[in-house]
A and B are shown apart, each in its own frame.
Chain A
Amino acid sequence: GAGVSQSPRYKVAKRGQDVALRCDPISGHVSLFWYQQALGQGPEFLTYFQNEAQLDKSGLPSDRFFAERPEGSVSTLKIQRTQQEDSAVYLCASKGTGGRYEQYFGPGTRLTVT
């Protein structure tokens, strides 16, 4: 079946603009994760959903970052009033159930704030 998809793949925003990044997980996957990957670094956890419930948002760097998954499928990561330090690749991953621990990643959205 189809993998995790993300859109847009690339986004350029002027400092202060709001952006919305979309993630379509693998069909049937109840768990969805967002990660931020700075240049030359490993991904860092932002937030985690199980169905529509946001179970962990401890990784969100500030209150400018907000994520939602209203119907337990598609998720949107919103960044308000973008800053230059928000420039990174934002990765979405989904995970199935039944004792399967591996996460499947989308291609990412590269955000550049100018």
Chain B
Amino acid sequence: AQSVTQLGSHVSVSEGALVLLRCNYSSSVPPYLFWYVQYPNQGLQLLLKYTTGATLVKGINGFEAEFKKSETSFHLTKPSAHMSDAAEYFCAGGSQGNLIFGKGTKLSVKP
């Protein structure tokens, strides 16, 4: 079955610390991968995507992710957390059709 797994439903970091949000996908998921961010009472905003080419992709707001086929992973990182990064983050996989989402990771940033 196709699945996307996000390890850790809640991650808390201090402002200025490294952010690492983990995502693994099953091998049956099409290798087009996305990270979305959702702020309270808002829709999902695309942070970054991997489709083909370079496996390290950069997105908005200083986030980046690396596609590792051998590990079936697409972890999201940011070197230095800001208070404004507090939100829920979703990893998703898909191609032409629908996206398959993980359950989400809520990121809290402590001052």
Asked whether A and B interact, the reply is: yes
The yes or no answer to B90 lying at the interface (CB within 8 A) is yes
Give the chain A neighbours of B102 by CB distance below 8 A.
42
- Residue of B4, B43, B100 most packed against chain A (CB within 10 A): B43
Asked if B44 contacts A105 (CB within 8 A), the reply is yes
Which residue of chain B has the shortest Cβ distance to A46 in the bound complex?
Answer: B98
| In the complex with contacts A42-B90, A42-B104, A43-B90, A103-B99 CB distance below 8 A | yes
CB distance from A7 to the nearest CB of B (A): 13
Bound: A106/B43 CA distance, A: 5
What secondary structure prevails in chain B residues at the interface with A? loop
The yes or no answer to A4 lying at the interface (CB within 8 A) is yes
Please encode chain B, from 19 to 58, with 1 for each CB lying within 8 Å of some chain A CB and 0 for all others. Answer: 0000000000000101010000111111001010000000
List B72-93 residues whose CB lies under 8 Å from chain A. Answer: 90, 92
CB distance from A8 to the nearest CB of B (A): 13
Interface residues on B, range: 20 to 34
Bound: A33/B46 CA distance, A: 15
Contact among B46, B90, B104 with A102 in the assembled complex (CB-CB below 8 Å): B46
Asked if B103 contacts A45 (CB within 8 A), the reply is no
List A7-50 residues whose CB lies under 8 Å from chain B. Answer: 33, 35, 40-45, 48
Bound: A51/B30 CA distance, A: 23
B residues sitting closer than 8 Å to A (CB atoms) are: 4, 32, 34, 36, 41-46, 49, 51, 90, 92, 94-104
A residues sitting closer than 8 Å to B (CB atoms) are: 4, 33, 35, 40-45, 48, 55-56, 59, 91, 93, 99, 101-108, 110
